[in-house]
Structure 1
Amino acid sequence: MDRPLRDVPAQARDLLPALTAAIEGTGPAVRALDDAEPSPRAGTHVPADVAVVVRTSGSTGRPRDVMLSAAALQASADATAARLAGPGSWLLALPVHHVAGLQVVLRSVLAGRELATLPDGPFRAAVFTRAAGAATDGPGPHYTSLVPTQLVRVLDDPGATAAARAFDAILVGGAACPPPLLARARAAGLRVVTTYGMTETCGGCVYDGRPLDGVSVAVDAEQRVSLTGPVLATGYLHRPDLDATTFVTTGGRRWLRTADRGRLDDGVLHVLGRLDDVLVTGGVKVDPLAVEEVVAGLPGVRDVCVVGVPDQHWGQSVVAVVVTRDGAVPPLTALRTAVASTLGPASAPRQVLVVDELPLRGPGKPDRRAVARLADRRMSEHRTT
C-alpha cells in the first residue's frame, strides 16, 4: 500500500494543517519545498507509513528526498520532550523545508501548543527579541532552535541575549558549534543544548553528546559514526541505490552509516567533522574542524571556515576564511602560533582571508566547497597582482 505525496509551500501557515493531517493519517504525506527548488513530478506516491518527505541540501551529489514515518517523527518528538523539560511551546526561527525547522512545527503540533514564528525575512536580532518576548509570555516550558550563526547574532545584541534567557532550552545544531561560542552563550545565561543528527534521523538525535532515549551510537575503526533507533528514516524516495549503501543491518538492527567522523568517550559522542573534509598538506592530515575551534577562540573572530586550496608545493595549503566583528584581518603570525601550539605546525593556516559572510548551505552550515572556491579565487587574484 502507498499514499499520495502532496507538495506544500515552505511556510509554517501552509504546513501546519497539512502536517497535522499527514501525521494523523487523514491526509496525504507532505513535502515542504522552497520557492527556489524545482517542481517535482506530479502524482508521486510514498509507502503508507511515510508522513513527511524532506529534501536534503545536496552537499554531496544531487539532492535527495528523505522519507520519514509518523512513528519515527513521534519517537523523535517524545525523546526530545523527555530530554528537555517536557512538551512545550516553540518559537520557529528556521526554514521549514529543512528538518530542524520542520521539527519545531511538528513538536508544537504534537504538544497541542500554538506555534510562534519569526516574520519572513533575514534573521535579525531585533526581530528575534520581539518574537521571543511574545513567544515566552504564555505557559511554558518554552523552546527554540537556532543555528550557530543565529546564536552569534543573538549574543552580539544585549536585547536579544536578554530575551533568549527566557527560553528553557535553545537547541543549537545544523553545524558544529565552536566551544568558545558555546561557552559564551552559557556564560550569558542561555540554556543552550547542542544537537547532532541529520534528516535521516528526524533531525537531532544526540544532545550534548549523549543519544536520546532509544538511540544508539557506534564508531568504527575508521572513526565513522553510525546511528540506530526508532528515529531512522524509512529510506530515500526513488533511490534504492542509496538505501542499500546508507542503511545497513547488523546484529538484527538497522543502522545509518553517516559520513561523519567521531569518537566516543564514556558514552559521549564527539563529532570530529566529515570523513571527506580532512585536508592533506605536505603529506600530513589536518582536521579543519579542530583548526576552526582554535581560530574561533581568537579575539575579534565571529565565524570561521578552514579549507584547503591547491598548492604546487604542499598539495593543499591550509587557509582560514574568517568573519570578524570589525572587518580587520587577524595577524597571521598570531593565528599560526595559536594553532601550531595546540595542534602542531602542519595545521597552522598559511593564509587568512576576511569576508563579510561565509557562503552557507541549508540552515546555517558553511558551504565548504563554495568557501574553498572563494579562497582559491582570492589567492589567485593576489598572486597575479
Structure 2
Amino acid sequence: MSRPLVALGTSDPLAVLRGLEAALAGGPALLPVAEGTPALPTPPPADVRQRVALVVETSGSTGTGKRVALSSEALLAGAAAADAALGGPGGWVLALPTHYIAGLNVLTRSIAAGTTPVVVTPGHFDAAAFADAADRLVTGPAAPRRYTSLVPVQLARVLDDGRATAALARFDAVLVGGQATPAALRDRAVAAGVRIVTTYGASETSGGCVYDGVPFGTVRTEVVDGELQLSGPMLAEGYLGDDDRTATTFVDRDGLRWYRTGDAATVSDGVVRVLGRLDDVVVSGGEKVRLGAVERLVRDLPDQHGAVVTRRASGEWGEVPVVVTEQPLDLDTVRSHVGDALGRAARPAAVVVVDRLPMLPSGKPDRRAIQDLASS
C-alpha cells in the first residue's frame, strides 16, 4: 500500500504544521521544501509506502543529498520520549526552519501536546523578534512548560541582547543542537540563568535523541569500531530511492536495527561523548589530527564560538588544519592554545577571516563551501 507524497514550501510554518498534522493522522505524506535552495538531482516520487508520513531532504554539511523517510510511529515515539525527558509537554517557540528536522520536531511535539507554536518571523534570525515571540507564548494546564530549540549561533545572538536573554531565561528548557555547543557559550548561557539542554541526533533518528549526553527513553547506544550507533523506535525507515545507502546505514545486529551515525564517540557510564565525524581526520606530517577536536578548542577562545576548522592541502605536511572565522584571531595565539592541548601537528596553519561564514538553511556551517574558502 502507498499514499501520496505532497511537497510543501516552508515559507509558511503554520501551513507545514497543518500538513504534518494531516500526515501523522494518516493523510498524504509531507515533504517540506526549502525555498530558494537547489533541488536534489532527482525529483521526489509521487507516492511513498503507507508507513512513511514525513520525508526530510538533507544534504548534510559535507555529504550528498538524501531523502530521509520517517513514519508516524517514529516521530511520535521520539516526541513522547523527549517530553518525558524534559518533564512533560509544553508550548513551543519555533525559531528553526520547518524543512529541518529540529524545526519539524517542534511541530511534532506541539501537535502531540495539542498546542500551536509561536513562530519567530522566518528569515534571518533576530534576537528582538525572538523576544517578541517569547512574549506571545501562552501555556495552559495540559502543556504548562515553555520550550524552544536553537542552534548555537542563534543562542549567541540571543545572549548578545539583554531583553532576549531575559526572555530565554523564562523557558523550562532551551534545546541547543545541530552542531557542538562551545563550552564557553554554554557557560555564558548558564550564567544568564538559561536552562540549556544540549541535543544530539539526526534526521535518521527523528531528531535529537540524546540529551546532555544521555539517551532518552528506550534509545540504545553502542560504539562499534569507533563509530557511534543508535537503536530505538525513532529510527527512520531509510532513504527514498536509495536501497544501497539504506542497507549500508541501517544494520541489524543482536535482534535490533541500528543507525550508523558516521560519528566517532565514546560511551562511559551511559554518557555519550561525540568526538567528531569519522572522516574529519587529516594526516599532517604523518600524524592523525581530528579537526573536530581542534575546532572545539578554537571555539573556546573569546568571540570564536562560530569558528570552523577545515582542511587545506600542504605540499610539506600533506594536509593542515585551517581556521575560518568571522572574528579576528591571532594565529600565534590559536596555534599555542591548540598545540598545548593536542600537540604540534594539530596547530592551525592559517586563520581566514570572512565577512560571513557560509551557512546551510538548517543553521549549520556549510563545510564544503568553507573548505573551498580555506583552500583558495
What TM-score, normalized to structure 1?
0.92
Q: CA deviation at 1:138?
A: 6.1
Mapped partners of 1:84, 1:297: distance in 2: 27
Equivalent residues in 2 for 1:55-74 (5 A)? 55-74=57-76
1:348 is matched with which residue?
A: 347
Partner of 1:243: 246
Render the CA deviation track for 1:22-48: whole Å, top value 9, x for unaligned: 1111x2111111123438747621111
Find the partner of 1:291 among 294, 303, 308. Answer: 294
Deviation at 1:86, TM superposition (A): 0.4
Root-mean-square deviation (CA, aligned residues, Å) is 1.6
The equivalent of 2:363 in structure 1 is: 364
Aligned partners of 2:336 and 2:63: how far apart in 1? 37
Seq. identity, %:
48
The 1:316–1:291 alpha-carbon spacing in structure 2 relative to 1, beyond 3 Å, is same
Take 1:339 and 1:374, find their aligned partners in 2: how far apart are those partners? 22
Query: Which of 90, 93, 97 matches 2:92?
Result: 90
The answer to whether the 8 A contact 2:229-2:258 is kept is: yes
Quote the Cα distance in structure 1 between the aligned partners of 2:72 and 2:8.
18
User: Is residue 198 of structure 1 aligned with residue 202 of structure 2?
Assistant: yes
Q: Which residue of 1 aligns with 2:167?
A: 163
Q: Please give the alpha-carbon distance, in whole angstroms, between the structure 2 residues aligned to 1:43 and 1:161.
A: 44
The offset of 1:357, in angstroms, is 2.3
Higher relative contact order, chain-length normalized (CA < 8 Å, sep 6+): 2
How far apart are the structure 2 equivalents of 1:298 and 1:315?
27
> Secondary structure at 2:204's aligned position in 1?
helix
Distance 1:323 1:120 in 2: 23
Aligned partner of 2:214: which letter? R
Which whole-Å CA distance do the structure 2 matches of 1:285 and 1:243 have between them? 30
Aligned equivalent of 1:382: none
Tell me which amino acid in the other structure corresponds to 1:270.
R
Tell me if the contact between 2:139 and 2:146 (Cα under 8 Å) persists in the aligned partners.
no
Task: Show structure 1 runs of 5+ residues with no match.
Answer: 378-385
After TM superposition, the structure 1 stretch with the greater mean CA deviation from structure 2, 93-102 or 345-354, is 345-354
Which whole-Å deviations, capped at 9, do the CAs of 1:204-247 have from their partners, x for residues lacking one? Answer: 011100101110011123x1111100000011111111111111
What is the identity, as a one-letter code, of the residue corresponding to 1:22? A
Instruction: Give the C-alpha shift of residue 362 in structure 1.
Output: 4.2
Instruction: Tell whether the 8 Å contact from 2:185 to 2:305 is kept in structure 1 after alignment.
Output: no
Any conservation in 2 of the 1:197–1:203 contact (CA below 8 Å)? Answer: yes
Q: TM-score, normalised by structure 2?
A: 0.95
User: What letter corresponds to residue 98 of structure 2 in structure 1?
Assistant: V
Alignment check: 8 A CA contact 2:147 2:172 kept? yes
* 2:22 is the alignment partner of 1:21: yes
* Range with bigger deviation, 293-302 or 170-179: 293-302
How far apart, CA to CA, are the structure 1 residues paired with 2:261 and 2:139? 40
Q: What corresponds to 1:104 in structure 2?
A: 106
Query: Is 1:9 matched up with 2:2?
Result: no
Change (3 A) 1:342 1:61: closer
CA displacement at 1:334 relative to structure 2: 1.8
Contact 2:62-2:366 within 8 A present in 1 as well? no
Structure-1 separation of matches of 2:178 and 2:334? 26
Q: CA deviation at 1:317?
A: 2.1
Cα separation, 2, equivalents of 1:267 and 1:219: 12
Map residues 208-287 of structure 1 onto 2, 5 A cutoff.
208-221=212-225, 223-287=226-290
Q: 1:303 and 1:16, CA in 2 relative to 1: closer, same or farther beyond 3 A?
A: closer
CA distance 1:292–1:62, shift in 2 (3 Å): closer
Find the counterpart in structure 1 of residue 311 from structure 2: 308
Q: List per-residue Cα deviations over 1:315-350 (Å, max 9, x = no partner).
A: 1122111222xxxx3222222111111111211112
The residue type equivalent to 2:230 in the other structure is L
SS of the residue 2:129 aligns to = helix
Using a 3 Å threshold, how does the CA distance of structure 1 residues 234 and 138 change in structure 2: closer, same or farther? same
**Deviation by residue 1:123-145 (Cα, 9 ceiling, x = unmatched):** 01111111112125766301000
Q: How many residues align?
A: 371
Please give the secondary structure, in 1, of the residue aligned with 2:200. strand
Letter in structure 1 aligned against 2:151: V
Aligned with 2:217: secondary structure? coil
Structure 2 match to 1:317? 320
Q: 1:70 to 1:374 in 2, by over 3 A?
A: same
Q: Distance in 1 between matches of 2:224 and 2:83?
A: 30
- State the Cα distance separating 1:62 from its structure 2 match: 3.4
Secondary structure at 2:326 match in 1? strand
Question: Which range moves more in the overlay, 56-65 or 90-99?
Answer: 56-65
CA distance in 2, matches of 1:43, 1:278: 36
